[in-house]
Amino acid sequence: MATTRSESVSVASNDAVVIVRQRVREFAVDARLSLVDQTKLVTAASELARNMVVYGGGGTVLLEQLDMDGRPGVRVTFEDRGPGIADIEQAMRDGYTSGGGLGLGLGGSKRLVHEFVLQSELGKGTTIAITRWK
Amino acid sequence: MDRIPILRMGRFLLVTIQVDMHDRLALALQDDLTSCIVRYGAKGVLIDISSLEIVDSFMGRTIGNIAGMSRILDAETVVVGMRPAVAITLVELGLSLPGVRTALTVERGIGLLRGSLEGTIDGDNAQ
């Protein structure tokens, strides 16, 4: 698997979520994802970018154009240095929220992509990587 | 700060969201719409989202809130023009917009609002 292009976006406030959506859309179009797949990836990225602002105090989003033996894909990695997630299983469950939201962000985003990798360490931060292949 | 314009069409209010909605804009719309409903005594709200490329859980919740608040203020909300890809994604995300009426086009949305308004008037006459 090769990364053919990458870019990083700093996300400090809610307003930057819009920028993340636009950049992810651009990468998804370049990877020739179908319209529905683009929409799914952009929506998942929007959820996770907002989570990063609300719970992680902001962070960095890394966008990568991937190529796996000719099959294009896009990976988006969200990294924050927030408090971390104490109970990942609970956080992934639909309807669970610690911040007044709908509690669909993590579980919902996972359903919208092919790969979802979550790493979190208490007091250190959270990293979530999502990938959608063509 | 940016604002989403709210147009008055007789007893209804029409909102066409034509920008990628950031969170503060969505919350401002919620405030502005409820104020307009009261100021104009509006009986219906049409929200045209045909330009929206995505609806995430925050926007979905805001739309649901607007519908709920309008109902309490005696106005119906109809969301029109949702793109197919957005509908597919919303359901997979786990958001089915309960309590929000939808129509495919603005015309049908207006028809829906007129229909429910006439239903109410007929009901009043019957008493």
pLDDT at B126: 45
Report yes or no: A62 and A79 within 8 Å, Cβ to Cβ. yes
For residue A60, give every residue at least 6 positions away whose Cβ sits within 8 Å of its Cβ, in sequence order, or none.
Answer: A8, A9, A10, A11, A78, A79, A80
Q: Chain B contact for A52, CB < 8 A?
A: no
pLDDT in tens, B18-67: 888 888 888 899 999 999 999 999 999 999 999 999 999 989 989 999 99
Identify the CATH number of the domain defined by range A2-133: 3.30.565.10
Å between B13 CA and nearest CA of chain A: 27
Q: Chain A contact for B38, CB < 8 A?
A: no
For residue A113, give every residue at least 6 positions away whose Cβ sits within 8 Å of its Cβ, in sequence order, or none.
Answer: A40, A41, A44, A130, A131, A132
Give a three-class secondary structure readout of A69-92: CCEEEEEEEEEECCCCCCCHHHHH
Q: Answer whether A104 sits within 8 Å of B20, measured CB to CB.
A: no
- Domains identified in chain B and CATH numbers: 6-126 (3.30.750.24)
Q: Answer whether B92 sits within 8 Å of A21, measured CB to CB.
A: no
Nearest to A43 among B23, B56, B84 (CB): B56
Indicate if the pLDDT at residue B112 is higher than 90.
Answer: yes
Give me A117's structure tokens: 């990798």
Confidence of residue B121 (pLDDT cuts 50, 70, 90): low
Indicate if the pLDDT at residue B122 is higher than 70.
Answer: no
Nearest to B53 among A39, A105, A111 (CB): A39
Domain ranges of chain A: 2-133
Please tell me which residue of chain A has the smallest CA distance to B53. A39
Nearest to A107 among B53, B89, B94 (CB): B94
Low-confidence ranges of chain A (pLDDT < 50): none
